[in-house]
Structure 1
C-alpha cells in the first residue's frame, strides 16, 4: 500500500536515507530537506546558488553537494560551514555517489537540458578522497541515477536516453572498465535508482509513471504504478521512498501548484 509522507514539494530529487531520516533536494525551493518517518520536516541547507540540478550524498556524515551551475563539489560540515571539496572542471552534473573509501563519482556534463541545448553525451568523473578530479567514462546518454555495489566493485549508471542501466568494473584507484549493459529496460526511461539488499535495483521512471524493480539482465521483479512521474527513489530497511510529481515538460517547470510528493511503499524484510 502506497502512503504519502510529505507533499507540497516544488521539485524533489536526490533522495537519500541517512541517519534515520529521508533527505532530498527541492531544486526550486533551493533546499535540502530531511524528513522523519513520522513526517517531521527540517530544512537542513538552503542554497544561495542556482539549484537546477542539485544532488548530494554523504561523506563521513557530511553532505557532499554538487553545485552543478558552478561546477563545484561542496562539503557541508556539521556546524553549517560550506567549503569547496573539489572543482569539477565543467558544469551540468546530475548525480553523485560516494564510495566507502571517501572517493566519489559524479555524472552529467553533457548538454544543459534546462537551457534547451541539443543533446551531447555526458561523462562520469571520479573525485579522489583528496579532491583530485578526473574523467573515468564518456559517451553517457544523459546520466541519471547511480549506485555502487556494497563491495565497491561495480558502479551502475542509469542512462535515460539509452533506456538501460550500464555497469562498470571499479579499480582500486577509482578507474572504470568493462562497460556493459546491466539491464535493458525496453521503452523504460530510467531516472533515479536504488540498489536493494538482494542486488536488484529499483528504477524510477517519469514518463512511465512507475518505479520498477529489476535484476541484472533486465528481469522485472516488481513494479509500483503511480498517477504522476517518479523522479527518484531511495530505500531504508523496510520502506521504499518515491519522489514524484506531475510532469508537463520543461515549459511547465516552476509553474502551477506544487505537486511534488514523497510516497512510501512498505518493503518486506
Structure 2
C-alpha cells in the first residue's frame, strides 16, 4: 500500500458543538444509513427489513414516513440511482436493487463474490457508467458480531466492483472492517472507510496511479462508518465511536489475545454508545471540521448526509434518524 498525502493531526481543527439533534421516530430499530433522493427526501432501512422514505418536518408540518420496500433481510447501506431506483446492501441477502415507486420486491444483483456467499454487504456507490462499488465488512463475522471483528482486528474486508453484465470482482482484500464507500467528484478514485483501522483508503481508478491504492486520511479521531459526498467537494464521515487507548493496545496484541477478548465480548453487555459525532474531510483527506454532540440524545452515529443546510444522521442502535441545521464553519 502506498501512502498518500495526509493532513497532520496537529493541523486539524478542534471539535465544535453539534446542534441538538431533532429525532424522527421510525417505529423500527437501527436506521444504519441515510441518503437523500432526488426530491430531498431521506431514505433509510431498519432492522425488520423495511426500507423507508421520510419527508423531514418543516415549520408546523410534521415528518412524513412511508414504506417503499422490504428486503426480507437486514438493509444497511443505500445508494440512490439516477433513475430513482435504490441499491440496497443487505447484510443477509447481498447487493439488491429496489424500485421505491414500483414493485417492492427487490432484485438480487449479487449474492456471492469469488465463489463465496456474500455476507455482511455493507455499503455501495454507483459511477456514472453504471459500475457499482460495494464493500463487504467481514468474511468472518456477520452483522450481529460486528464488535468481534473490530476486536479480533483480522483484515478480512473487501472492496468489490460490479460492472453491468459481469461477475463481481474483488478490487481490494485485507481491509479492516470495510464500511462506507464514496467516489471522488470526478470519479478518479473510490474511497472506502476502514472502520477497524481509523482511516480512509483510496483506490485510484484513472490517471497515472490507476490501480494503486493509498491512504486518503489516517489516524481519525473515531471509527469511520458510512460516508457521503459533501456539497463543498469533500466527504462527510460518520464516527460511530471514539478511539480509545485500550482498543489501540489490543490491536497491537498477539492474535490469540485478540481472539480471546473477542470471544469474551460475546457474553458481555454491549458497551454504552457515544454521542453523535461527524467530521468533514476535503478531497485531499484533510479534516476541515468536526462536530460533536453531547449527552445521549442520539448515539452511535453510523451515517451522515447534508442537504439544504441540514445534516441528517443514522444510527445502528437508535429507533430514529436525527437532523439538525448545519452550523456555519468556524
C-alpha displacement of 1:40? 0.8
Pick from 180, 205, 226 the counterpart of residue 214 of structure 2. Answer: 180
Aligned position for 1:101: 129
Structure 1 residues 55, 219: closer, same or farther in 2, change over 3 A? closer
Aligned position for 1:82: 106
Aligned position for 1:255: none
Q: Where does 1:117-196 land on structure 2 (aligned, <5 Å)?
A: 118=152, 119-171=154-206, 177-196=211-230
Distance (whole Å) between structure 2 residues aligned to residue 64 and residue 184 of structure 1: 28
SS in 2 for 1:206: strand
Q: Where does 1:14-93 land on structure 2 (aligned, <5 Å)?
A: 14-19=33-38, 20-26=40-46, 28-38=47-57, 39-48=63-72, 50-51=73-74, 54-59=76-81, 60-71=83-94, 73-77=95-99, 78-80=101-103, 81-89=105-113, 90-93=118-121
Provide the aligned length of Structure 1 versus Structure 2: 252
SS in 2 for 1:207: strand
Unaligned runs of 5+ in 1: 248-257
C-alpha displacement of 1:66? 2.5
> Which of 258-267 and 104-113 deviates more?
258-267
TM-score normalized with structure 1 length: 0.82
Structure 1 residues 134, 187: closer, same or farther in 2, change over 3 A? same
Is the 8 Å Cα contact of residues 110 and 120 (structure 1) preserved in structure 2? no
Structure 1 residues 184, 11: closer, same or farther in 2, change over 3 A? same
Aligned position for 1:111: 140
Aligned position for 1:201: 235
Is the 8 Å Cα contact of residues 145 and 191 (structure 1) preserved in structure 2? yes
Does 1 or 2 have the higher relative contact order (CA < 8 Å, sep 6+)?
Answer: 2
> Which of 85-94 and 141-150 deviates more?
85-94
SS in 1 for 2:187: coil
More strand by share: 1
Structure 1 residues 261, 37: closer, same or farther in 2, change over 3 A? closer
SS in 1 for 2:181: strand
Is the 8 Å Cα contact of residues 222 and 240 (structure 2) preserved in structure 1? no
Aligned position for 2:311: 240
TM-score normalized with structure 2 length: 0.68
Pick from 265, 280, 283 the counterpart of residue 213 of structure 1. Answer: 280
Is the 8 Å Cα contact of residues 127 and 183 (structure 2) preserved in structure 1? yes
Q: Over aligned residues, Cα RMSD in angstroms?
A: 2.6
Structure 1 residues 203, 243: closer, same or farther in 2, change over 3 A? same
